[in-house]
Amino acid sequence: MLQDAVLNQDEIDALAETMDGQSPRAPKVLLVEGAQKTLGELVELLRQEGIAYLIAENLQKAREALRANKDIDLMITDLRICNEGSGLDLIRQVRDSGMALMPVILVSGEAGVEDAIEAMRLHVVDFFLAPLDLPQLLAVMRAELGI
């Protein structure tokens, strides 16, 4: 046993017994995006990385996905969703729910200073403007998902 180990042998044994036969759950991302081009880029990025995802093309489907899937680890949402509302409203709902700590990345084709300030108040992880910097977005996702 390592002298500088954080866990003692009994704790290591108990952890191993608890995890016996269980593999860590793969992370899951919710994509809330109505623009097909952007959605296609995000889906391709997640597929290449082997990251599980759900798609919600509007606010109603996003709310349904969040209610039905408590195992979502990260949400990427557009600022303006199919002319039906704001991604900021969706983020507010998430922050007021049992999933309040879920990391959120905001993407947008256009955004004003007010949008950026409100996104910071809602504790979004990052805010990407189109065209998306996919390598940077992937680095942020990996950091948030711990992969």
pLDDT at 84 (0 to 100): 76
pLDDT at 34 (0 to 100): 86
Domain 27-145, CATH number (from 3.40.30.10, 3.40.50.2300, 3.40.50.620, 2.40.30.10): 3.40.50.2300
Return the exposure string of 78-115: e unless at least 16 CB atoms fall within 10 Å of the residue's CB, then b: bbbbeeeebbbebbeebeeeebeebbbbbbbeebeeeb
Tell me the pLDDT of the chain (147 aa) as tens digits. Answer: 455 667 777 777 776 676 666 556 789 999 999 889 999 999 999 999 999 999 999 999 999 999 999 999 999 999 988 777 789 999 999 999 999 999 999 999 888 899 999 999 999 999 999 899 999 999 999 999 999
pLDDT at 95 (0 to 100): 96
Query: Is the whole-model pTM more than 0.85?
Result: no
Domain boundaries, the chain: 27-145
pLDDT at 25 (0 to 100): 76
pLDDT at 1 (0 to 100): 45
Please, what sign has the CA dihedral across residues 103, 80, 53, 97?
A: positive
CB-based contact 132:41 (threshold 8 Å): yes
pLDDT at 27 (0 to 100): 94
